[in-house]
Amino acid sequence: MEAASSCLSQSSYSYEDYKETADWLLANTKQRPKVAIICGSGLGGLAELLGDRNVFQYKDIPRFPISTVQGHAGQLVFGKLQGRECVCMQGRFHFYEGYNIHTVTYPVRVFFLLGVETLIVTNAAGGLNGSYNVGDIMLIKDHINMPGFSGQNPLCGHNDDRFGVRFPCMSDAYDGELRALAKQTAKEQSCDSFLQEGVYCMLAGPTYETIAECKVLQTLGADAVGMSTVPEVVVARHCGLRVLGLSLITNKVVTDYDSTEKANHEEVLRTTRHRTEDLQNLVSHLISKI
């Protein structure tokens, strides 16, 4: 009962709220993107690759939330990538910023109303899989939604059939054809040597995981852990969008009590800077094939 009540107590948005934001954006840009990209910590450089850019600060967009995290620029960028019209979020929203689950996922339904058909989500993540190295890129094949276990699901509350069905399937959350295309593209771009495929687990944050928690997640079959992505994917699939997820492994989780290593955000940003160009090349060439 506690999970259900916490779910229902969260504030929600109406279809008209999402439409107001989408209509404002459509009125202020001629771009009509079919692909949306959500950039994780330090990965906002993807948006810099876009040509014919229209840039909107989150604070200027009606009803749009504002990103508060270092490494998240806080702007929506419309433009062309490899000749394809795209919209790119330079900065996403998180539970740990104090936002509820509906606010975290607000942009995804706006993208749906803009006419977006494919969502690419990127994030910085800790490596749980012992065979992963710092700097690896993991294709997400599945996820474990830890906040969802406690009732924090963005689809809780009233279901609006204009977005999707009441009980959407999540066994195919990450599109198999897009993953195959990403593998092919990685091989062409000589990125396949550090491309992995695995399961992403989301925790709410903002604390990094304890050693005991990491061991539990490894037992559950998680290969990488982070503090984002899953809520956006759930809403995207509810809306019928195809999803491709990419995790940049920025650190290896600590599983030894004698270790002196400590996870920190500065390390995450340093690693993303090191591997950003490879990830950008992979995504941009992939988009040309979608």
Q: Which of 3, 12, 48, 96 is catalytic?
A: 96
Residue 138's nearest CA partner among 266, 285, 263, 252 is 252
Q: Is 142 helix (H, G, I), strand (E, B) or coil?
A: strand
Catalytic choice (145, 153, 247, 251): 251
Active-site residue, selected from the candidate residues 13, 48, 54, 97: 97
In the set 227, 232, 238, 247, the catalytic residue is 227
Separation between Cα atoms, residue 239 and residue 4, nearest integer Å: 23
Q: Is 12 helix (H, G, I), strand (E, B) or coil?
A: coil
List 145, 228, 247, 284, catalytic entry: 228
Is 67:61 a contact under the CB 8 Å cutoff? Answer: no
User: CA 241, CA 33: separation in Å to the nearest integer?
Assistant: 13
Q: Dig out the tokens for 43 from the structure.
A: 């990965």
> Is 227 in the active site?
yes
- CA–CA separation, 277 vs 259, rounded Å? 31
Q: Which of 36, 58, 85, 94 is the catalytic position?
A: 94
Task: Identify whether 96 is a catalytic site residue.
Answer: yes
Catalytic member of 3, 197, 265, 281: 265
Six token digits for residue 166? 């009441």
What is each CA distance from 210 to 37, 200, 202, 259, in whole angstroms?
31, 17, 14, 12
209 is an active site residue? no
Cβ(116)–Cβ(241) below 8 Å: yes
3-state helix, strand, coil in the chain (%, to 5): 40, 25, 40
Query: Is 265 part of the annotated catalytic residue set?
Result: yes
Catalytic residue among 18, 22, 36, 41: 41
How far is it, in rounded angstroms, from Cα 61 to Cα 182?
A: 32
| 158 tagged catalytic | no
| Catalytic-residue membership of 264 | no
d(CA 112, CA 19): 10
Q: Is 193 a catalytic residue?
A: no
**97 included as an active-site residue:** yes
Candidates 36, 124, 146, 173; catalytic one:
124
Q: Which of 200, 92, 214, 204 lies closest to 139 in space, CA to CA? A: 200
* 72 carries an active-site annotation: yes
Under a CB-based contact definition with an 8 Å cutoff, are residues 170 and 262 in contact? no
Annotated catalytic residue, options 18, 58, 67, 72: 72
Enzyme catalytic residues: 41, 72, 94, 96-97, 124, 227-228, 251, 265
